[in-house]
A and B are shown apart, each in its own frame.
Chain A
Amino acid sequence: MKYFFIKLFSFFLAFSFFSVSYAKEAEVVHWWVSGGEQAAISEFAKAWEAKGNIWIDTAITGGENARGTTVNRIMGGDPPTAAQFNISRQFEDLITQGKLQSLEELATKEGWRNFIYPKKLIDVCVRDGEFWCVPVNIHSAQWMWTNTSVFKNAGVAEPDTIDDFLAAAPKLKASGIIPLALGGQPWQEGLMFGVVFSSEGYDLMQAVLKDHDTGAAKGPRFRNVLENYRELQQWVDDGAPGRLWNDATAMVIQGKAGMQIMGDWARGEFQVAGLAPKNEYNCIIPGKKKYVELGGDVFVFPKSDDPAVKEAQYELASLMVNPTVQANFNNAKGSLPMRLDVDMSAADACMKMGLELIKDPDHIMEGSGIWNTNDFVSSWEDIISEFRNNPDQSIDDTINQVVDLLESGI
């Protein structure tokens, strides 16, 4: 009898230990606090909790705040389970300092190198042959968003390239609207410049921004880019400085402006406003040769001595690349998934354009964010922003500043 109860007791003990240790906890730091973003991160959270785990959401608005908090907490000794970063070099230092958990075991086991697409995404996360982060989506900045009726009223066709737009702009202005909507924040001004730049030639962009070739920066083609950019500015209204990007999108939606150059996340605004793609608004990838730019988000996993934490991190990473979860997440966010075998049939016309284009590796471009540190990117934006806001700053002066930046080794 006693023996029976001992067996029963140890059975319950083992069972309770089993069920208690089964629920994993994950604290995730991110900056997705609004609308579609919030719905997207919820897909991760729901999938995580469907497995019986606990999701602790640490949402902090503003990428800098969130990333800063992540770094602080890692350095202070209280790291989160997972933290969001961009496809960039922002987290490199954390790798060299040994603060991140290597995902190589998981990547090899699940064969990440086989299904992550495009292949360039792998390079974003791999250092010294090991995976240190997991990419979760692709956002591209190379888009023009137009209000169809505004162009119709002005009697011009919607542009296919930047040059087309420059030709059409005077007619737009004459019809009484602001031709180009812009939010005057350095990142937006830099984004617009990047689109003009790549229109001139992706090879030139690589020479200047990737290879830091000062000869290319001093050359006539780059000068042409600067001139085109300056020419674009006359079609932007004076109230641009400080404007938020979605306020600029609203100008296009409400028919006060003709076009905005903005990343694919602008699509969400049109959707919320109830406009129909290809009908009431148009999404155009500018340039004679069309590119999808590789921007987007990744998650890193701060290193912990506790094996239970590592287990939770691996499970979370695995979940994030799961095809079903990827489908739900990216549909909610309006971004492209990081693997091809994801069911994106629910995507709308604009997203489908991106999905089609990305199938061909020849149409994929990396951006400055992948090649350069945040310091470089921000310093570049400083130069561009001043160039845009200060009509007295000459093109020569700007080229000199660019050359200085390229030579500075930042």
Chain B
Amino acid sequence: MNFSRLLFRNLAAKIALLPMIVISLTVFVGCVIYSIIFSFTNSKLVPVFDFVGWLQYTRLFKSRKWDVAVENIFIFGFIFTIGCLILGFLLAVFIDQKIRSESLFRTIFLYPYAMSFIVTGLVWKWMMNPTFGLEHAVHMWGWETFVFDWLVNRDLAIYAVCISAVWQGSGFVMVLMLAGLRGIDEDIWKAVAVDGIPKWRAYISVIIPMIRPVIVTSVVLIAAGVVKVYDLILALTGGGPGYSTTTPAMYVMEHFFNRANVAQSFAASTIMFISVIVILAPWAYWEFYFRQRKEQN
């Protein structure tokens, strides 16, 4: 294999990856740089070069709404991620038990992912409404003291949001997990049986480590969803009661058009980017650099 042939092969790959490289640089990196630059301006409806230093950031960190938003993203992120992972895993494990009507169950758990949340959000809003939703229905069925008013309760509304979110997202995680489980050799199960390990123990000690890559990928996809969550909360609570269920992404969105303060929007999103990089970069480095090293051996 001479040098020119090597160059040519890599050249083809480089050309093929050109769109990805161009898009990553101009659009993704470009957008980040764009928003960082304009976060130092006083842009209102449209970005203008009216530099004001740290003004937007001062306002951002003084804003109570932003504090609540940051708190909420952690609460929501944690519950949503754990909820989807656990529920998705459990559903996958149970479906994997050689049951009848597997296709039916799988579709039932997966259909929420297919529906736009503008739509299903309204139904969840009805169901969780104390006046005519679940609480009212249960009262009419006889259990008078049942209370489920989380959605209109400032302190609990974010948890109500988590419920709908897990409903929507865990089906997809289930499918990912199921595929991972299906990839496990029958011989492993036979070995487990021979060793006399109870099935639940096997899952925890043997299986989960084996599907670790699937879990990691699921976490990445879930995390991307958490950072961008908007439609879901808008449909369910509009950010309320008050602003108790607002999130950083919502803060960015509403300052963009409705409040005509694009610069504030950019400041908020810059903080979001920094957070994402801080969390993502070490993982990405380890995952891919480490993997590359492993595969080269």
Contact = CB atoms under 8 A, between A and B. Distances in A.
Interface of A: 64, 67-68, 71, 75, 90, 92-94, 97, 184-186, 237-242, 373-375, 378-379, 382, 385-386, 388-390, 401, 404, 408, 410
Interface in B43-69: 44-46, 48, 59, 62, 64-65
Contact of B240 (A71, A94, A241): A241
SS class, residues of chain B in contact with chain A: loop
B130 A184 contact: no
B24 interface: no
B243 A239 contact: no
Interface stretch (B149-157, B267-275, B286-294): B149-157
24 contacts: A67-B257, A71-B45, A75-B46, A92-B45, A93-B45, A97-B48, A186-B243, A239-B129, A241-B151, A242-B152, A242-B238, A242-B240, A374-B258, A375-B259, A375-B264, A378-B258, A382-B243, A385-B242, A386-B242, A386-B243, A389-B240, A389-B244, A404-B62, A408-B59
Interface in B153-198: 154, 157
Contacts of A375: 44, 255, 259-261, 264
A242 B256 CA distance: 22
Interface of B: 44-46, 48, 59, 62, 64-65, 125, 129-131, 149, 151-152, 154, 157, 236-238, 240-244, 254-261, 264
SS class, residues of chain A in contact with chain B: helix
Contact of B46 (A67, A97, A242, A385): A97
Most buried by B among A67, A93, A241, A404: A241
Contact of B149 (A71, A238, A386): A238
A186 B125 CA distance: 17
B279 to A, nearest CB: 29
A250 B171 CA distance: 38
Contacts of B131: 237, 239
B241 A184 contact: yes
Contacts of B259: 374-375, 378-379
B237 A242 contact: yes
A276 to B, nearest CB: 28
A401 B157 CA distance: 24
A242 B151 CA distance: 9
A242 B65 CA distance: 18
A94 B45 contact: yes
B288 to A, nearest CB: 36
B6 to A, nearest CB: 44
A373 B154 CA distance: 28
A386 B260 contact: no
A184 B45 contact: no
Contacts of A241: 151-152, 157, 237, 240-241
Given A93-B46, A386-B242, A389-B242, A68 B152 contact: no
B260 A238 contact: no
Contacts of A378: 254, 258-259
A410 to B, nearest CB: 8
Contacts of A64: 254, 257-258
Nearest to B45: A93
Given A242-B238, A378-B259, 17 more contacts: A68-B256, A93-B46, A185-B240, A186-B242, A239-B130, A241-B157, A375-B259, A375-B260, A378-B258, A382-B65, A382-B242, A382-B243, A385-B240, A388-B242, A389-B154, A389-B240, A389-B241
Contacts of B129: 239
Contact of A238 (B45, B152, B244): B152
Nearest to B62: A404
B152 A93 contact: no
Contacts of B256: 68
6 shortest A-B CB distances, which residue pairs?
Answer: A93-B45, A68-B257, A241-B241, A389-B242, A241-B152, A239-B131
B152 A240 contact: yes
Contact of A374 (B152, B236, B260): B260
A94 B48 CA distance: 12
A2 to B, nearest CB: 60
A82 to B, nearest CB: 18
A379 B259 CA distance: 9
A188 to B, nearest CB: 11
A185 B234 CA distance: 12
A243 to B, nearest CB: 9
B150 to A, nearest CB: 11
Contacts of B258: 64, 67-68, 374, 378
A260 to B, nearest CB: 16
A242 to B, nearest CB: 6
